[in-house]
Amino acid sequence: MTGIDAPVAQDHLARLHADLVARAARDEVLDVAYRTIDGPLGPLLLAATRAGLVRVAFESQGHDQVLTDLAARISPRVLAAPARLDAVARQLDEYFDGRRRAFDVPVDLQLVGGFRRTVVEHLRDIGYGHTASYAAMAAVAGSPRAVRAVGTACALNPVPVVLPCHRVVRSDGSAGQYAGGAEAKRLLLALEARVGDAA
């Protein structure tokens, strides 16, 4: 027998959710949209404001924790809303497939300020398949002695992969630390070396 408090069909709720997302976006009350994608680095969380891509996070960083952090720092008007992330999701797929060398999506760097922001903005200067040392990045960012601060800035890069902090390596050529783990960094560098050589 069916009760009036019987379960609601999940696919019905999914349709209502999609409609809510569309209306929230139209009314400009969707402050942070997010989705996850799968790739060789495991699930990646992608989040965007109306200004652009604001966060890329690895599973090891705790996607729930990252969303909680975005809600506190940007706005709690956060919804799972894949459409806003379609372009970056497609470009990341192409990148992981070796079919793309640069990302063409707006990026919102509101989560990072000061010297760290200067460093993160200069990450784009390191071309596909190339690397730069932490010391070289410190010089480019205008503070040659701030090598350790460059390391911190890279570790806290809010949009890894898209802004390529994985291309910043130790002066001795070894890969060094990475927010997604040292293995992920070696994987990205190997991908870019392979695709770069094949070209």
Partner 1 sequence: MDEPFEQVVQRHGATVLRVCRAVLGPADADDAWSETFLSALRAWPSLDPAANVQAWLVTIAHRKSIDVLRAAQRRAVPVAELPDAAVTPVGRDLDLWSALARLPDKQRHAVALHHLGGLPYDEVAAALGGTAAAARRAGADGIATLRRTYGTTIDGGDR
Give the Cα separation of 46 and 85 in Å (integer): 7
Chain centroid to CA 81: how far? 16
Query: Is residue 79 near partner 1 by the rule CB under 8 A?
Result: yes
* Active-site hit among 165, 168, 184, 189: 165
* Choice from 37, 67, 126, 150 touching partner 1 (CB under 8 A): 67
Q: Is 98 helix (H, G, I), strand (E, B) or coil?
A: coil
Q: Is 165 a catalytic residue?
A: yes
The C-alpha angle 36, 120, 148, rounded to 5 degrees, equals: 115
User: In terms of CB distance, is 25 or 147 closer to partner 1?
Assistant: 25
Site stretch for partner 1 (CB under 8 A), options 71-79, 96-104, 125-133, 149-157 = 71-79
* Choice from 40, 42, 43, 76 touching partner 1 (CB under 8 A): 76
> How many helices (H) does the chain have, and how many strands (E)?
7, 6
Query: Is residue 3 near partner 1 by the rule CB under 8 A?
Result: yes
Query: Is residue 11 near partner 1 by the rule CB under 8 A?
Result: no
Per CB under 8 A, residues contacting partner 1 are: 1-5, 7-8, 12-13, 16-17, 19-20, 23-24, 27, 29-30, 32, 34, 67-68, 70-72, 75-80
Q: Which residues are catalytic?
A: 165
